[in-house]
């Protein structure tokens, strides 16, 4: 990831110049990146994108071409431009590892450093984390719906541009997809590839049988045939069986068929009978055709005989919820490492921020199941028994005993230097699968899932309430002064 310094919104640069001109060049700040709502009506989210964040930070510098462009805008002074010329990120970043199960308002990324630096990287971090986290989460839902059947990500042609197609494949693999059709993603990230043939291949030959035989001659050990170009049960499957038996007679193993249209439940059941009767019990049936987690779940519930699923548009675009909506909010500011908590107030409760330098603590029972998360201040520690409560509906309380804890945020950069070793993508996928296994099935339901407990620690709750009261009192006093004049 190169030439990334201008991957930002203009107002980040204008604010930076404002800080510089008003003597705030060395002011320090802490920002939290988090989301407010779980996408697709789900019960959990899979964090993704940290590797690209690391690449961005490590390549963040303004080229001579960048400087010439900014100078040509005629809105930045030379002192500020000189500051940008030698710009590097020197701050601290903590983040949850990719593949971690996370929930609303939990800081996925925490940035601490000079406000000039922390402000600049906001847009790029949101761009990266929002998209990859969204697609990893959607993929996890699709894979869960498949119930053990393999899922192939087929979304490149429907993705919102090349970058979304490539990083979407990566995120989908984190979420549990076993294969991608995207060759560049396969090369770049080592994701296993999968693909068959298009309807146009079948149409280009004199008849369907010859098209199947030609493909079998070309790929005798990877022969999986698309059977719905003309008629699935009257033409496609019978011809596929002929070719499959010919391959088996020659010592090869016929892989199976793919159905891309029609009533997938009925067609797959009938095709299964035909394949089994022909002695091709091992042949797999792959289904595609604008699938998502709800369609897959319904088809499986109807008794479909489908072994693998190819999912494209609905996965790569997260069609039902096309944006995660992550935000990046100031939580503390200060000088020389001494910080004061800061709070943003809103009439919309969901937009009131949590102040201070925070961490996420996850509580597990002795079976390893996640019981609850606490968003807590950085220096807090917890002992049994611990009573937690909902920060909005405070009468909802739960006492935790006999628990183990884990802090989710990990150091990634210290003083601008990376201290985090990036894991292999396959290891991230395995970790994400383990993370999902720590959740109760009720939280993983596709429809109306149980809401996982995420509370504020008592100390953070008290800090938030005191700042709210302090701000409210100050506003009322200022209003009283204005009215008395």
pLDDT digits (tens), the chain, 485 positions? 678 999 999 999 999 999 999 999 999 999 999 999 999 999 999 999 999 999 999 999 999 999 999 999 999 999 999 999 999 999 999 999 999 999 999 999 999 999 999 999 999 999 999 999 999 999 999 999 999 999 999 999 999 999 999 999 999 999 999 999 999 999 999 999 999 899 999 999 999 999 999 999 999 999 999 999 999 999 999 999 999 999 999 999 999 999 999 999 999 999 999 999 999 999 999 999 999 999 999 999 999 999 999 999 999 999 999 999 999 999 999 998 899 999 999 888 889 999 999 999 999 999 999 999 999 999 999 999 999 999 989 999 999 999 999 999 999 999 999 999 999 999 999 999 999 999 999 999 999 999 999 999 999 999 999 999 999 998 888 888 888 77
**Within a domain: 396:** yes
**Within a domain: 429:** yes
Q: Collapsing DSSP states into helix, strand and coil, what is residue 451? A: coil
Residues 111 and 150 in one domain: no
**Within a domain: 358:** yes
- Cα torsion 17, 23, 28, 30 to 10°: value is -50
Residues 22 and 107 in one domain: yes
**Within a domain: 128:** yes
Residues 140 and 55 in one domain: no
Distance of alpha carbon 296 from alpha carbon 369, whole angstroms: 27
Any idea what the CATH number is for the domain that residue 69 is in?
3.20.140.10
| Last residue within a domain, chosen from 294, 316, 338 | 316
| CA-to-CA separations, 229 to 204, 262, 266, 270, in angstroms, rounded | 11, 11, 17, 17
**Within a domain: 480:** no
Residues 114 and 72 in one domain: yes
Residues 167 and 298 in one domain: yes
Residues 143 and 115 in one domain: no
Q: Give pLDDT, residue 481.
A: 80
**Within a domain: 413:** yes
Residues 233 and 331 in one domain: no
Residues 129 and 140 in one domain: no
Are 139 and 151 spatial neighbours (Cβ–Cβ below 8 Å)?
Answer: yes
Count Cβ atoms within 10 A of the Cβ of residue 417 and give its class: 0-12 exposed, 13-18 middle, 19 or more buried. Answer: exposed
Distance of alpha carbon 159 from alpha carbon 165, whole angstroms: 5
Q: Give pLDDT, residue 411.
A: 98
**Which helix (H) or strand (E) element contains residue 259?**
strand 256-259
Are 105 and 375 spatial neighbours (Cβ–Cβ below 8 Å)?
Answer: yes
Residues 408 and 456 in one domain: yes
**Within a domain: 430:** yes
Distance of alpha carbon 81 from alpha carbon 74, whole angstroms: 11
Q: How far apart are the first and last CA of the chain?
A: 58
Per residue, the 3-state secondary structure of 214-256, as one string, reads HHHHHCCCCCEEECCCCCHHHHHHHHHHHHHHHHHHCCCCCCE
From 199, 273, 280, 173, select the one nearest 233 (Cα to Cα): 273
Distance of alpha carbon 19 from alpha carbon 72, whole angstroms: 21
Q: Collapsing DSSP states into helix, strand and coil, what is residue 351? A: helix
| Structural domain harbouring 72 | 10-135+322-470
| Last residue within a domain, chosen from 268, 295, 316 | 316
Q: Give pLDDT, residue 1.
A: 65
| Last residue within a domain, chosen from 295, 316, 337 | 316
**Within a domain: 368:** yes
Count Cβ atoms within 10 A of the Cβ of residue 321 and give its class: 0-12 exposed, 13-18 middle, 19 or more buried. Answer: middle
Any idea what the CATH number is for the domain that residue 202 is in?
3.20.20.70
Residues 100 and 177 in one domain: no
Residues 123 and 146 in one domain: no
- Number of structural domains the chain divides into: 2
Residues 214 and 76 in one domain: no
């Amino acid at each position: 990831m190169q030439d990334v310094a201008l991957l930002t919104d203009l107002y980040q640069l204008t604010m930076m110049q404002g800080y510089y001109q008003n003597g705030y060049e060395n002011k320090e700040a802490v920002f939290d990146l988090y989301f407010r709502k779980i996408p697709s009506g789900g019960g959990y989210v899979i964090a993704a994108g940290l590797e690209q964040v690391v690449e961005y930070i490590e390549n963040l510098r303004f080229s001579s071409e960048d400087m010439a462009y900014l100078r040509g805008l005629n809105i930045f002074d030379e002192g500020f431009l000189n500051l940008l010329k030698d710009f590097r990120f020197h701050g601290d970043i903590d983040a949850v590892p990719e593949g971690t199960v996370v929930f609303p308002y939990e800081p996925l990324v925490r940035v601490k450093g000079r406000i000039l630096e922390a402000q600049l990287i906001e847009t790029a971090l949101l761009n990266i984390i929002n998209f990859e986290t969204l697609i990893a989460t959607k993929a996890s839902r699709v894979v869960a719906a498949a119930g053990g059947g393999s899922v192939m990500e087929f979304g490149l042609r429907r993705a919102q541009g090349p970058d979304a197609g490539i990083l979407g494949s990566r995120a989908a693999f984190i979420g549990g997809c076993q294969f991608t059709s995207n060759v560049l993603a396969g090369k770049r990230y080592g994701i296993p590839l999968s693909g068959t043939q298009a309807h146009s291949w079948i149409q280009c030959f004199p008849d369907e049988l010859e098209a199947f035989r030609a493909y079998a001659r070309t790929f005798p050990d990877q022969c999986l045939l698309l059977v719905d170009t003309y008629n699935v049960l009257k033409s496609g499957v019978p011809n596929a069986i002929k070719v499959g038996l010919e391959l088996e007679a020659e010592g090869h193993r016929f892989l199976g068929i793919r159905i891309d249209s029609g009533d997938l439940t009925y067609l797959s059941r009938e095709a299964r009978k035909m394949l089994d009767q022909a002695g091709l019990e091992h042949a797999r049936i792959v289904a595609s055709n604008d699938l998502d987690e709800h369609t897959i779940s319904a088809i499986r519930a109807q008794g479909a005989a489908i072994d693998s699923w190819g999912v494209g548009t609905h996965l790569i675009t997260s069609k039902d919820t096309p944006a995660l909506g992550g935000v990046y909010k100031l939580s503390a500011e200060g000088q020389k490492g001494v910080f004061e908590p800061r709070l943003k107030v809103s009439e919309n409760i969901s937009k009131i921020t949590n102040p201070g330098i925070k961490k996420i603590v996850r509580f597990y029972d002795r079976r390893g199941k996640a019981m609850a998360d606490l968003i807590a201040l950085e220096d807090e520690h917890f002992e049994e028994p611990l009573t937690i409560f909902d920060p909005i509906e405070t009468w909802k309380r739960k006492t935790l005993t006999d628990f183990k804890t884990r802090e989710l945020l990990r150091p990634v950069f210290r003083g601008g230097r990376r201290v985090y070793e990036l894991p292999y993508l396959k290891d991230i996928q395995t970790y994400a699968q383990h993370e999902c296994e720590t959740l109760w099935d009720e939280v993983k339901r596709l429809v109306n899932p149980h809401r996982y407990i995420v509370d504020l620690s008592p100390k953070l709750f008290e800090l938030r309430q005191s700042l709210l009261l302090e701000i409210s009192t100050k506003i009322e006093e200022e209003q009283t002064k204005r009215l008395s004049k």
